[in-house]
Amino acid sequence: MGENSGFTVRTVQEAMVSRGARRTLWILVGAVAFVLLIACANVANLLLVRATGRGREMAIRAALGAGRWRIVRQLLTESVLLSMTGGVLGLVLGFLGMRGLLAVNTAGLPRLGDAGSLMGMDWRIVTFTLALSLVTGILFGLVPALVTSRADLNAVIKDSGSRSGSGFGQNKTRSVLVVVELGLCVVLLIGAALLIRTSLAIGRVDPGFTATNVLTMRTSLTGPQFQTSDGVEQAARSALERIRSIPGVMQATATCCVPLQGGFGLRFNIIGRTNEGPFTGRGSVSTSSSGYFETFEIPILRGRDFNDLDDGNAPAVVIINQTLADEHWADGGDPLADRLLIGSGSGNMQELAEEPIRQIIGVVGDVRANGLANEPAPIMYIPQAQVPDALNALIVEITPMAWVVRTEVDPATVSATIQEELRLATGVPVTDIRSMEEIVAISTSRRRVNMLLMSVFGGSALLLAAIGIYGLMAYSVQQRTPEIGIRMAMGAEGSEVKNMVIKQGMVLILMGVAAGLGAAYFLANVLASVLFEVEPRDVTVFVSVPVILILIALAAVWIPARRASRVDPIEALRYE
């Protein structure tokens, strides 16, 4: 390729999993860890409540001779059994969930096969899940077990007649766990909201072409007759004549590079212009037959389109996009008055040795060829009939020819006929049949899958946090039933009792939300690489998410508060 050319060495794993995908996977792993911590906090809360209710039982066991560590082992066994059961159930639900995810969108997970046919229960995933279940069962069951094992029979008997306690003074551990749940929930919900806004922003992007009713397919032109550009052009004209004659077909074209499916870039020089370096600029190069811009409905802003007269015997021409024109004719000059030499400064690349100087004959609208989230890049379009033979041989060797057809009807209804005509014209099989709408969906699939997963994680976290705050407040009301009865017997109104419970719950909610906002503020930059037209610390998200969470958490607090306001003083004192 030349003395100044180089190459990059990458492992197979690096080639299969890009840097962007690896960063996304780590973000999702973090989200899973947050949901796991929230679930574990909920389980620990439930175990603490259960431990309080079994205090008398454990005290009696200790009085009958059971050692403390024997009680701890018993409670840990119960905790681990509960955790392992949840782990097995989680494996089943996870497998079914992946099936459901693939049913929604398989485009972002191509190596799982059609409809997830290659997906199965990997033994490493099963082992990791069960090991994680075991570890979490031990870690989050240990504190409740130690608390319960300290139960003293005399203290339990003395306390059995009074359960009022001092409210949150007895529930500090449970309160801390709920605050942690709410904080983690805020972080996940903010992340999900940012990705949702990103997905909506991408959905509003104009790709620069119309994807509706456009069908694409490819053929590998590997025969000796296709080694010259004239051979490829003859096959293309014959195939396009057949395709355009099919009822329902509006326009058709042949090209090396379909938007959003990659391409190749080359340096170029503007003839007569003094450069600071060996070349003027760099841009993508796309070879195409006539009808390309009409098929994609890309507007021609200035000049003209290619036609059948732009063959190998005609003067060499090129069409550029608006971005390239803006970059190099920003002073108001006329690009149609200039010429380009494509490949200049590309070293000793022999395939470009015969590349002619090309007259710019048109400027077309921009296309987001490298992804909807990427700004349009400079593009040079050259007619297929004018591609140098050496460069043509390289192109047909490394990439199949793409055929693009715009139809008046659903492309699926004429797809079989188009494929048959294409096989008859070229003599080679047709592969990779896709609609342009599907290609657009594939280009945004990773972001949509990320949004869907984060939304699921955020929703799960929100549900768990609501359950956690409800459970804590309901238990607190139950423990304080005698106290509430006495308050109401002494003249306290039901609304006062309800407001007291709500106030206590709101303290926890606001503490959790504040902690979550602080964590989300510092972690927001982690998502910056996967966002589009959304700031990592978007004000709308950072305001709306806490408000929604507070309202939902308030509803979870309001239910036990309403129950507390309806306590019958006589029944409460009798219960005492």
Phi, psi values for residue 43, rounded to 5°? -65, -40
The per-residue pLDDT for 3 is: 45
Residue 271 placed within a domain: yes
Angle between helices 19-53 and 123-149 (to 10 degrees): 30
> Cβ(557)–Cβ(510) under 8 Å?
no
- Structural domain includes residue 98: no
Q: Are 404 and 215 in contact (CB under 8 A)?
A: yes
Mind giving me the DSSP string for 60-106?
Answer: HHHHTT--HHHHHHHHHHHHHHHHHHHHHHHHHHHHHHHHHHHHH--
**Is 161 in a helix, a strand, or coil?**
coil
Cβ contact 499:527 at 8 Å: no
CA atoms within 13 A on the CB side of 441: 11
Q: Is the dihedral of CA 340, 341, 345, 351 positive or negative?
A: positive
Quick check: is 403 in a domain? yes
Q: Which of 489, 488, 466, 484 has its CA nearest to residue 550? A: 466
- The reply to whether 525 falls in a domain is no
C-alpha to C-alpha distance for 510 and 186, rounded to whole angstroms: 11
Is residue 307, in this structure, part of any structural domain at all?
Answer: yes
Q: Give how many domains the chain has, as a whole number.
A: 1
What CA–CA distances, in Å, run from 314 to 276, 287, 386? 32, 16, 8
Helices (H), 356-435: 389-398, 411-426
CA angle 394-400-404, nearest 5°?
Answer: 130
**Which of 171, 173, 128, 147 lies closest to 36, judged by CA?**
128
Could you tell me where the beta strands, DSSP code E, fall in 365-473?
379-383, 401-407, 431-435
CB atoms within 10 A of CB 93: 11
Q: Which amino acid is at 549?
A: L
Q: What is the pLDDT of residue 1?
A: 41
| CB of 321 closer than 8 Å to CB of 378 | yes
The Cα 490–Cα 507 span in angstroms is 26
CA distance 171 to 173: 6
What's the rounded Cα separation, in Å, for the pair 361 and 303? 6
- Mean pLDDT per 10-residue segment, the chain (576 residues): 51 58 77 84 75 69 73 81 85 78 55 56 80 82 69 56 43 80 90 88 88 92 84 89 92 91 85 79 90 93 90 91 92 88 69 85 92 88 90 85 92 92 88 90 80 84 85 77 77 81 87 92 84 88 91 88 76 58
At residue 301, φ and ψ (nearest 5 deg) are: -80, -35
Token pair 């599907």 is found at: 438
Q: Contact, 295 vs 381, CB < 8 A?
A: no
Three-state DSSP at 320 gives strand
- The CA-atom distances, in angstroms, between 377 and each of 265, 294, 370, 407, 537 are 10, 20, 8, 28, 28
Q: Say what the pLDDT of residue 426 is.
A: 86
Q: Which is nearest to 340 in space by CA: 373, 296, 300, 380?
A: 380
Q: Which residues are 218's β-sheet partners?
A: 402, 431
Per-residue pLDDT, 115: 53
Residues in contact with 193: Cβ distance below 8 Å, sequence separation at least 6, in sequence order:
458, 541, 544, 545
Contact between residue 513 and residue 549 where contact means Cβ atoms under 8 Å apart: yes
| pLDDT score for 154 | 61
Sequence-ordered list of residues with C-beta below 8 angstroms from that of 30, at least 6 positions apart, any chain: 526
Residue 514 has a pLDDT of 93
Range of the domain at 228: 221-428
Beta bridge partners of 403: 217, 254
Q: Is 46 part of any domain? A: no
Encoding tokens for residue 266?
């080359």
Report the C-alpha gap between 191 and 183 in whole angstroms: 13
Please name the residue ranges forming H helices in 245-329: 292-296, 322-328
State how far the Cα of 465 lies from the Cα of 37, in Å rounded to an integer: 11
Rounded to whole angstroms, how far apart are CA atoms 140 and 8? 47
- Domain presence at residue 199: no
Asked if 112 and 119 touch (Cβ cutoff 8 Å), the reply is yes
Report angle CA 387, 218, 204 to the nearest 5 degrees: 95
DSSP-assigned letter for residue 371:
-
CA 293 centroid distance within chain: 32
In a domain, 568, yes or no: no
SS3 316: coil
The token pair at 322 is 């608006």
Q: Nearest CA to 37 among 216, 176, 172, 166?
A: 176
